[in-house]
């Protein structure tokens, strides 16, 4: 008879920041949130979201909710991160991605975990320094800079995909200019009272636009801090 070995409970982790908590979150996203891309679900399962927020909030890390990260910013709800990532790679994984709004670094880390070449821009220096420390600790290789995200990162354009993690009243033309032909841009657009998640695909005949539904994001603010 083949012996059956069981891991000790300590190895499995029983707390609110354990692998088991991540697994439960992923199953909720699949069953209730309609997330179908197994690549995205695997990335969220592997990433320790509790390391991207303040330790005092770590017990809430695997709730499907946005959480404050300081400076008036939030780490996005896991469903939103999963949905935006899924929309970005649905028609083929891009090689080079520009992210506007590094924030905690969690969305950039998800993209890097998928094997994408990530360039991330953040306007708040303190948030960027914290995110860079997390990237180093997790061994993630991506590029980031402190700048006004609305300007993009023209030195490294064109990008196969662009993801914007703050909402503006309209999309900045500078970002569309930096999107490669055939590329995809995913961004929330609207004011504080009404925002929609849009997916834009740049084709030889113009830009195709698709509305992915209602969302709530912090505003896309000009300048740097």
Provide the pLDDT for residue 8. Answer: 33
Token pair belonging to 158: 């064109």
Print burial letters for 80-111: b (CB count within 10 Å at least 16), e (below 16).
bbbbbbbbbbeeeebebbbbbbbbbbbbbbbb
Query: Model confidence over 137-159: pLDDT tens digits?
Result: 999 999 999 999 999 999 999 99
**Bridge-partner residues for 202, per DSSP?**
207
Question: Is the pTM above the cut of 0.85?
Answer: yes
Provide the pLDDT for residue 73. Answer: 94
Provide the pLDDT for residue 15. Answer: 65
Per-domain residue ranges for the chain?
Answer: 74-215
Provide the pLDDT for residue 172. Answer: 85
**Bridge-partner residues for 121, per DSSP?**
100, 145
The domain covering 74-215 belongs, at the CATH homologous superfamily level, to Vaccinia Virus protein VP39 (3.40.50.150)
Check the CA dihedral 200-37-76-217 and report its sign: positive
Residue 76 annotated to the active site:
yes
**Selected catalytic residue, list 18, 58, 59, 76:** 76
Token pair belonging to 26: 């992923």
Please list the ranges in the chain whose pLDDT falls under 50. 1-14
User: Concatenated DSSP letters for 21-64?
Assistant: HHHHHHHHHHHTS----HHHHHHHHHS-GGGGS-GGGGGGTTSS
Write out the E strands in the chain.
67-70, 73-75, 96-100, 117-122, 143-146, 159-164, 179-190, 195-203, 206-215
């Amino acid at each position: 008879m083949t012996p059956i070995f069981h891991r000790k409970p300590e190895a499995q982790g029983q707390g609110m920041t354990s692998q088991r908590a991540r697994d439960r979150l992923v199953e909720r996203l699949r069953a209730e949130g309609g997330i179908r891309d197994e690549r995205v679900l695997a990335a969220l399962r592997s990433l320790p979201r509790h390391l991207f927020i303040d330790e005092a909030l770590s017990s809430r890390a695997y709730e499907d909710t946005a959480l404050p990260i300081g400076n008036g910013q939030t780490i996005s709800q896991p469903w939103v991160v999963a949905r935006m990532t899924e929309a970005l790679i649905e028609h083929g994984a891009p090689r080079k991605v520009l992210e506007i709004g590094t924030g905690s670094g969690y969305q950039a880390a998800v993209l890097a975990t998928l094997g994408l070449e990530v360039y991330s821009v953040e306007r708040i220096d303190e948030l960027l320094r914290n995110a860079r420390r997390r990237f180093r600790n997790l061994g993630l290789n991506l590029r980031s800079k402190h700048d006004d995200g609305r300007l993009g990162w023209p030195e490294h354009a064109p990008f196969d995909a662009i993801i914007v993690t703050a909402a503006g009243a309209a999309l900045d033309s500078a970002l569309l200019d930096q999107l490669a032909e055939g590329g995809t841009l995913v961004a929330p657009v609207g004011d504080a009272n009404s925002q929609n998640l849009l997916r834009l695909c740049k084709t030889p005949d113009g830009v195709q636009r698709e509305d992915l539904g209602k969302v709530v994001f912090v505003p896309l603010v000009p300048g740097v801090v």
